[in-house]
Amino acid sequence: MSGDLEPGLVAQVLREAEELRDPGADPDLEAVKTAILLEDALGIVLTDDDITADVLGDPDSVADLVERRGHA
Amino acid sequence: MCGICGIVSTGAPPDLDLLRRMMGRLGHRGPDGNGYYRDRRAALGHNRLAIIDTAGGAQPLCNEDETLWVTFNGEIFNYVELRDELRGHGHRFRTASDTEVIVHAWEQWGEGCFSRFNGQWALALWDSREERLVLSRDRLGVRPLYYRRTPGGLAFASEVKALFADPTAQRALDPTGLDETLTYWSTVAPRTVFRGIEQLEPGHVAVLDRDGLRTSAYWSISFPERGREPVQDARANAEALRERLVEATRLRFLRSDVPVGAYLSGGLDSSITAAVISQYTDAPLHTFSLRFSEDELDEGRFQKEMAARLGTEHEDVVVSPADIAEVFPEVVRHTETPVLRAAPAPLFLLSRLVRDNGYKVVVTGEGADEVLAGYDIFREARVRMFWARDPESAKRSRAAELLYPWMARSPGRMPAFARTFFGRNLDLADPALSHRPRWDSTSTVKGILSADLRAEIERGDPPDVAASLPAGSEDWDPLSRAQWLEMKTLLAGYILSSQGDRMLMANSVEGRFPFLDRDVVDLANTLPARHKLFGMEEKYVLKQAFGDLVPPDILRRPKQPYRAPDAASFFTPGRPDWVDELTSRRAIEAAGVFEPALVAGLMAKGDRTRGENMSNTDNMRVLAVVSTQLVHDSFVDDHHDWAAAERALPPPEVAVDLVTHDRSTR
């Protein structure tokens, strides 16, 4: 999968990913878990700088990240 | 469910006494009756577990002019619909059985009939006019079918022990079969662990006629190209899955003339099938569960919760390590192959519980983990793929800590070990990236093989099931390739066999598996991979589809695979004498499979630790030694008293002998 991502798919994946978030888990491991999901479901590749609790722990910043990577 | 066997001979007529001995060895598969047919070229035998048309479905069964005969093990769940369709083509039926549908379906559609069957079967059709034998096995290998090429033809049977009723059959372990077993946990069909014994591949048909024996696939495991799956909407796929799985479960519960019970493991899959079944019966459903004396393995809390929710009549059996050792020789006489886990033994005790409660059919959740990606190996593969995109990344390496959260020594608690174990061979181009850690760790068991056997194995090609991935599979999602490998190896060779058919049929119990329904599998294989494994969330679409039927703590609990005590079972105080006898230096030397000094060291280590906290490799080695020695003792050395079973065969219900012109049916 490359180029622009299909907006409906992105919205669906982000919504479902949010439902699976475990607030009690180690935030860094949750970030890794979210990164696995995004890379697999959307076909994007993240950098180590992306795989942080700050970036992947917040739905809005995840959406921004996917927007950037999806157009890469 | 039944046992089948037969002989085709191009020389003298098949030996009826041999056929009857073969049937005697399959008595446990069909204690409700038996029958045979013989002409000058072929003989068919049948042991019956009567489930559908208990009064009229005796076998072997024939067409109107008695030129086409069938012996059949299994169920064709859509036989009612097929019978209506065949009546429309002018076929007339004498019985209400699904067996007769097979005969007419073959007459109507030839080999095309098997694609129309939705069921679980192993069968043989004999066309006496064409002198043609047809063997067929269901799509994923629920039912077993073995055969041996003989100088004058072929012999076939549901179990290998029946083929060994012929004293001329070679009795030897096959080094390549052992090599595969000590790599994949089982052989890959058509191979078995016995020289000269083959098994029909799942989804295949074999034809033996004047042109010889040839096999071909009528169905194969296939997946769409990643991104081109027909339906991308998860909600729509969840609805479709629910519709098909409910129908598959309904068919498996209602299409029986005897009561049907259900297994409850405490996990998601059997909870769903039991919940669906409970909607189709006004009487309390009878459910059966397996428990363990060790808290770490026991799932009794979840079983009881689900049973209470459904209001079932619930029975369970609590299994201890000593129980496993006690029944293990009998278990291995049914697996007919070495096993690297003791897990079949508790399932043997569970099916005994079912039988003791008067049931002979159970619906279970088997197959869901393969079809809908529930196993940890798929999560493992996802982690390895993620990590392999940048093997030097410390952040990516932490993904290994997400694996196996239910284990006492989980990767999350032992991250350094986990990174070493799961970080090996991170090659994105490897089509078996998913399975490499399992296969590599299993292969370490071979380190205790005898020098002679290792040399013989090394003269052959190493096992490489990944090389037979179909053309175009490089465009599948990696999860699909992992599912294909799992279905080709562990599902058919171990889960459905050593843990499935064999442990159920040992106690004359038929298992029915809605998750392996034709229509469920066809749908599941077209789902986008993310609907099965969504990130690290297994069986995502199944949870979406049935979230209302299962309590939240069962729905949300991390997948816990079925596990049983392994090596510890054979080092309990007062263990059975057979353990020491079969692992003695003399017995190990006589069998020639393992290096005696290494086995002695392994068993001494087990004695010192009572088998507790042994490494995964040592656990597998103990099981490999014990089970292989048992296989050798019963099948190669022939020390088991098979004649007792042969003598116990009751008089036949169907006896048609065209050689002597004797005929009787009861």
Task: Give the one of B385, B393, B536 whose C-beta lies nearest to A33's C-beta.
Answer: B536
Contact B402, B379 (CB under 8 A): yes
Helix (H) or strand (E) segment spanning residue B208: strand B204-209
User: How many Å lie between the alpha carbon of B531 and the closest alpha carbon of chain A?
Assistant: 9
For residue A37, the chain B residues in CB contact (below 8 A) are 534-536
Sequence-distant (≥ 6) Cβ neighbours of residue B352 within 8 angstroms = B317, B507
H-state helical runs in B311-367: 321-335, 344-356
Q: What tokens appear for B601 in the block?
A: 């060291």
Minimum mean pLDDT among A54-58, B137-141, B345-349, B511-515: which range? A54-58
Q: Provide the 3-class DSSP secondary structure of residue B645.
A: helix
Q: Residue B173 carries which DSSP code?
A: B
pLDDT-derived band of residue B487, with 50, 70 and 90 as boundaries? very high
Task: Give the one of A9, A35, A37 whose C-beta lies nearest to B534's C-beta.
Answer: A37
Rounded CA-CA distance A42/A6 in Å is 9
pLDDT-derived band of residue B646, with 50, 70 and 90 as boundaries? very high
pLDDT at site A4: 61
pLDDT at site B285: 95
For residue B527, the chain A residues in CB contact (below 8 A) are none
- Checking if the pLDDT of B242 tops 90, the result is yes
Inspect the interface and report whether the beta carbons of B386 and A35 lie closer than 8 Å. yes
For residue B529, the chain A residues in CB contact (below 8 A) are 40
Search chain A and give the residue with CA nearest B231.
A9
For residue B532, the chain A residues in CB contact (below 8 A) are none
Average pLDDT over residues B564-590: 95
Task: Give the one of A1, A16, A36 whose C-beta lies nearest to B386's C-beta.
Answer: A36
* Among candidate residues B498, B142, B557, B491, the one with its CA nearest the CA of residue B346: B498
Q: What is the pLDDT of residues B432-473, one digit of tens each?
A: 999 999 999 999 999 999 999 999 999 988 899 999 999 999
Return the residue in A6, A14, A32 with the most chain B beta carbons within 10 A, the one to mutate for interface testing.
A32
Number of domains making up chain A: 1
Return the residue in A16, A36, A50 with the most chain B beta carbons within 10 A, the one to mutate for interface testing.
A36
Half-sphere exposure of B475 (CA within 13 A, CB side): 9
- Checking if the pLDDT of B246 tops 70, the result is yes
Inspect the interface and report whether the beta carbons of A29 and B382 lie closer than 8 Å. no
User: How many Å lie between the alpha carbon of B397 and the closest alpha carbon of chain A?
Assistant: 9
Inspect the interface and report whether the beta carbons of A17 and B535 lie closer than 8 Å. yes
Search chain A and give the residue with CA nearest B479.
A40
- Checking if the pLDDT of B582 tops 80, the result is yes
Average pLDDT over residues B516-543: 96
Domain containing A35 equals 7-70
For residue B540, the chain A residues in CB contact (below 8 A) are 16
Search chain A and give the residue with CA nearest B412.
A29
pLDDT at site A2: 41
Rounded CA-CA distance B283/B19 in Å is 42
- Checking if the pLDDT of B396 tops 50, the result is yes
* Among candidate residues B530, B310, B577, the one with its CA nearest the CA of residue A10: B530
User: B234-371+497-556 has which CATH code?
Assistant: 3.40.50.620
Rounded CA-CA distance B409/B393 in Å is 24
For residue A16, the chain B residues in CB contact (below 8 A) are 234, 534, 540
Size of interface A-B (CB pairs under 8 A): 59
Phi-psi region at B45: left, alpha or beta (left = phi > 0; alpha = psi -120 to 50)? beta
Of all residues in chain B, the percent with pLDDT exceeding 70 is 99
Average pLDDT over residues B304-311: 96
For residue A2, the chain B residues in CB contact (below 8 A) are none
Rounded CA-CA distance B158/B78 in Å is 23
Average pLDDT across chain B, whole number:
95
Inspect the interface and report whether the beta carbons of A39 and B389 lie closer than 8 Å. yes
- Residue A2 counted as domain residue: no
- Residue A1 counted as domain residue: no
Contact B656, B36 (CB under 8 A): yes
Cβ burial of B400 (10 Å; 0-12, 13-18, 19+) is buried
Contact B160, B635 (CB under 8 A): yes
- Quote the strand ranges of B406-538, DSSP E: 510-512
- Checking if the pLDDT of A1 tops 60, the result is no
Rounded CA-CA distance B42/B24 in Å is 18
Search chain A and give the residue with CA nearest B403.
A33
For residue B233, the chain A residues in CB contact (below 8 A) are 12
Sequence-distant (≥ 6) Cβ neighbours of residue B152 within 8 angstroms = B9, B10, B11, B12
- Chain B contacts to A (CB-CB under 8 A): 226-227, 232-234, 382-383, 385-386, 389-390, 393-396, 398-399, 401-402, 529-530, 533-537, 540
pLDDT at site B281: 80
H-state helical runs in B202-261: 234-254
- Checking if the pLDDT of B569 tops 80, the result is yes
Inspect the interface and report whether the beta carbons of B385 and A34 lie closer than 8 Å. no
Sequence-distant (≥ 6) Cβ neighbours of residue B192 within 8 angstroms = B146, B160, B174, B177, B198, B199, B337
Residue B28: how many other CB atoms lie within 10 Å: 18
Sequence-distant (≥ 6) Cβ neighbours of residue B441 within 8 angstroms = B421, B616, B617
Return the residue in A16, A21, A34, A44 with the most chain B beta carbons within 10 A, the one to mutate for interface testing.
A16
ipTM for the complex shown: 0.92
Cβ burial of B597 (10 Å; 0-12, 13-18, 19+) is exposed
User: How many Å lie between the alpha carbon of A41 and the closest alpha carbon of chain B?
Assistant: 6
Search chain A and give the residue with CA nearest B475.
A1
Beta-sheet pairing, B286-292 with B654-657? unpaired
Residue B461: how many other CB atoms lie within 10 Å: 10
Minimum mean pLDDT among A6-15, A60-69, B188-197, B381-390: which range? A6-15
Search chain B and give the residue with CA nearest A42.
B530
- Checking if the pLDDT of B1 tops 70, the result is no
CA B206: distance to chain centroid?
A: 20
Q: For domain B2-172+198-220, say whether CATH 2.130.10.10 is its number.
A: no
Q: Comparing B335 with A12, which gets the higher pLDDT?
A: B335
Inspect the interface and report whether the beta carbons of A20 and B535 lie closer than 8 Å. yes
pLDDT at site A5: 67
Inspect the interface and report whether the beta carbons of B402 and A13 lie closer than 8 Å. no
For residue A41, the chain B residues in CB contact (below 8 A) are 530, 534-535
Q: What tokens appear for A38 in the block?
A: 């995004």
Q: Residue B320 carries which DSSP code?
A: -
Return the residue in A28, A33, A34 with the most chain B beta carbons within 10 A, the one to mutate for interface testing.
A33
Half-sphere exposure of B521 (CA within 13 A, CB side): 22
Search chain A and give the residue with CA nearest B389.
A45
Residue B358: how many other CB atoms lie within 10 Å: 10
Task: Give the one of A1, A29, A41 whose C-beta lies nearest to B534's C-beta.
Answer: A41
pLDDT at site B666: 64
Inspect the interface and report whether the beta carbons of B529 and A40 lie closer than 8 Å. yes
Search chain B and give the residue with CA nearest A45.
B389
- Chain A contacts to B (CB-CB under 8 A): 1, 9, 12-13, 16-17, 20, 28-29, 32-41, 45, 48, 51
User: How many Å lie between the alpha carbon of A29 and the closest alpha carbon of chain B?
Assistant: 7
Q: Comparing B346 with B404, which gets the higher pLDDT?
A: B346
